[in-house]
Amino acid sequence: MKILIVDDKEENTYLLETLIKGNGFNTITAKNGAEGLKLALKEKPQLIISDILMPVMDGFTFCREVKKDKYLCKIPFIFYTATYTSSKDEEFALSLGADRFILKPQDPDIFIKIVEELLEDVKGKRIQPSASEILPEDIILEKYNSALIRKLEDKMTQAEETEKKLRKINSELERVIEKHKQTEAALGESERKYRTLVSQSPDGIFIVDLDGNFLSVNETMCKTLNFSYKELLAMSIWDIVPIQYKQQHQERLRKIIKGEGINEATEYEVIGKDGRRHSIEVMSAPFLKEKLLIGYQGIARDITGRKQAEEKITLLAHSIKSISECVSITDNKDNFVFVNDAFLEKYGYTEKEIIGKNRSVIRPQDSEDVVVFKNILPETIKGGWKGEVINVKKDGTKFPVYLSTSVIKNDNNEPIALIGVATDISEMKKAEKELIQAKEIAEKSDRLKSEFLMQISHEIRTPISVISSFISVLKEEMNSLTKDELSDILKSIESSSLRIIRTIELIINMSEMQIGTYNPTWEKIDLIKDVLLRLQREFLLAAKNRNLELIFTMQVEDAFIYGDRYSINQIFDNLLDNAIKYTQKGKIEILVTGDDDKRIKIVVEDTGIGISDEYMNNLFKPFLQEEQGYSRRFEGNGLGLALVKKYCDLNGIQISVESKKEVGSKFTLTFSRF
């Protein structure tokens, strides 16, 4: 949507253009009716807003020419005037074809609402753009002259009324002059104090009119810019504001007109008489006279020194920006003014997020170093601080750092900033911890080695002693032994030999799994026929010899899986061997069930001695038994269940254990169906 603005006053055009653009419209501008007519014929805008009193061609003539054109007459036309304000002026304007007649100044929101409603009515064809009344040229000229005469008559009437008022005022003045004389001295004293305050203010104070021309400046303003008082009063604010700040300054003035941002500090650069640039911080407010806005007043503080100090800090910051350690600079209140790239990367902040924040944001609230943190700032101001503390990243991660701090002083030896260099010592701490853990593991491994050698020694020496003893008996008493006695001796020899073989076999199997040389053979296996029924037959005699009941219960028709036959056989061989070994009375039960079409569960449950809760975490660790040493009640080398767990992991079998001391144990294995 394109809107043509026609006004000979640049500031009026700027403010109106800013307002219209701010509400989503595009604008084109002209300085008088003649320019506006040419631009309208070329650009074909959707709306025309025009002042009336303009050079070359005024608004009335411009409107009339627009309404004469067969195309332009269809464009809605608004008069926006501060000069022609009577109802007859409005009547004449509307007779020329204008659609709206708005008096300056108008509230921005109301003005935009009028524009939007007019465009909406035209778009919705609820109204047609007004056309000029078809009147003879002399009639139009008569009305135009009448408008001018009315304006002159108004001025004459106003002059007469003003003269009457002046006479009345003069008589009143004569009565109050004495009173004014009495108060004049007091006012003079007050003004003197005010002028003294203004002139001696360390900040520059100025007043400018709506065009930016200086109306008043104080001595500080003159000294800052190196201009005399007379020189500045002959200048405009645009003479000292660099071109790159002009738009920013105009935007600032527009906000002040709308009552926004009053007394907010804004930084600019201004150019002094010698061409040197000064950084100033300005706070502005409207300057009113009899409740009418006639300009702006402001306080300008020279912050060049502060800026130079900041630049020095920035220069220092750039010199340490690439350091790999986390470098930060804070002010005397411990608020960040600089951090280097390493700091941002380590702590996870952006520069915008961390600058201005207090150093406490990187200190954990629940840290044990609270007392230490409280001492860092005062100790640093005194000279410096070094030590280890815990810091926290943006994401909440805590980590240890070695922190070294020192103070930065100005030429007067006054502290102006604090610098800290933090080194992440997580890896060092981790290495220390790993070294301690390695030492503990080595000590534990040494103990395990001793226990393992003791157990293996016991597991091999005991059956060998049995075999050796019975061989001696056979040599000495072979001829005197009965058949039953000989059978018992041979069974003992056989049992001891099998114990040695099993011990060696378990050691070899564990070695293969530990070093990764075991090669599984994957195939389809029937758990019931190929594994469990065979093991039931093998262990039936062992259970019977201990007066134990071995029960096999099958609740599924088939139990096919895909796995390694040898390792799966070893799983159940070790579980059944342990169940019989650690059960003194009662039963061992093997239950085959399935909770759905995809899984098979096999439960091996006994009524044995059970496992304590304390030992449960060590159940599958190699070379460990709940009872250790020569005084243990049961034989074994601590490798059986460790191999069971490794074989389960190899075949993707889930294993879980439930046990209660002196009640029994229950091992549940879950397989995936083939």
**Percent of the chain having pLDDT more than 90?**
37
CATH number of the domain that residue 223 is part of? 3.30.450.20
CA atoms within a 13 Å half-sphere pointing along the CA-CB vector of 553: 14
Mean pLDDT over residues 221-250, rounded?
88
416 and 479 within one domain = no
Mean pLDDT over residues 135-161, rounded?
62
The answer on pLDDT for 457 being more than 60 is no
What gap in Å lies between CA 23 and CA 30, rounded to an integer?
20
Within-domain flag for 535: yes
pLDDT at res. 283: 84
294 and 278 within one domain = yes
Do residues 640 and 578 lie in contact, with contact meaning Cβ atoms separated by under 8 Å?
yes
Q: What angle do CA 198, 200, 206 make, to 5 degrees?
A: 40
124 and 43 within one domain = yes
List Cα–Cα distances, 268 to 150, 235, 301, 324, 364, in angstroms. Answer: 48, 18, 10, 36, 40
pLDDT at res. 145: 65
What gap in Å lies between CA 485 and CA 478, rounded to an integer?
10
Within-domain flag for 308: no
Within-domain flag for 256: yes
Q: How confident is the model at residue 455 (pLDDT cuts 50, 70, 90)?
A: low
487 and 418 within one domain = no
The answer on pLDDT for 151 being more than 80 is no
Query: Structural domain of residue 116, as residue ranges?
Result: 2-134
Number of domains in the chain: 5
Within-domain flag for 502: no
pLDDT at res. 486: 67
Query: Position 106: which residue type?
Result: Q
Q: How confident is the model at residue 150 (pLDDT cuts 50, 70, 90)?
A: low
What does the DSSP assignment read for 15-84?
A: HHHHHHHTTT-EEEEESSHHHHHHHHHHH--SEEEE-SS-SSS-HHHHHHHHHHSTTGGGS-EEEEESS-
Within-domain flag for 461: yes
- pLDDT tens for each residue of 374-408: 788 888 888 788 888 899 999 999 999 999 888 88
Q: How confident is the model at residue 141 (pLDDT cuts 50, 70, 90)?
A: low
64 and 50 within one domain = yes
Within-domain flag for 195: no
Among candidate residues 381, 405, 424, the one where a domain is terminated: 424
Mean pLDDT over residues 181-207, rounded?
74
CATH number of the domain that residue 115 is part of? 3.40.50.2300
**Among 295, 298, 270, 294, CA closest to 284:** 298
288 and 417 within one domain = no
376 and 273 within one domain = no
Within-domain flag for 189: no
Do residues 324 and 339 lie in contact, with contact meaning Cβ atoms separated by under 8 Å?
no
Cβ density class 569-583: b for 16+ within 10 Å, e for less: bbbbbbbbbbbbbbb
| CA quadruple 306, 278, 275, 273: dihedral sign | negative
Mean pLDDT of the chain: 82
Within-domain flag for 601: yes
436 and 417 within one domain = no
pLDDT at res. 251: 83
Among candidate residues 273, 302, 331, the one where a domain is terminated: 302
Mean pLDDT over residues 558-585, rounded?
92
What are residue 606's phi and psi, to 5 degrees? -130, 170
529 and 481 within one domain = no
419 and 448 within one domain = no
Among candidate residues 115, 134, 153, the one where a domain is terminated: 134
657 and 542 within one domain = yes
532 and 563 within one domain = yes
pTM for the structure as a whole: 0.33
Q: How confident is the model at residue 651 (pLDDT cuts 50, 70, 90)?
A: very high
Mean pLDDT over residues 397-423, rounded?
88
More confident residue, 261 or 326: 326
In eight-state DSSP terms, residue 397 is: -
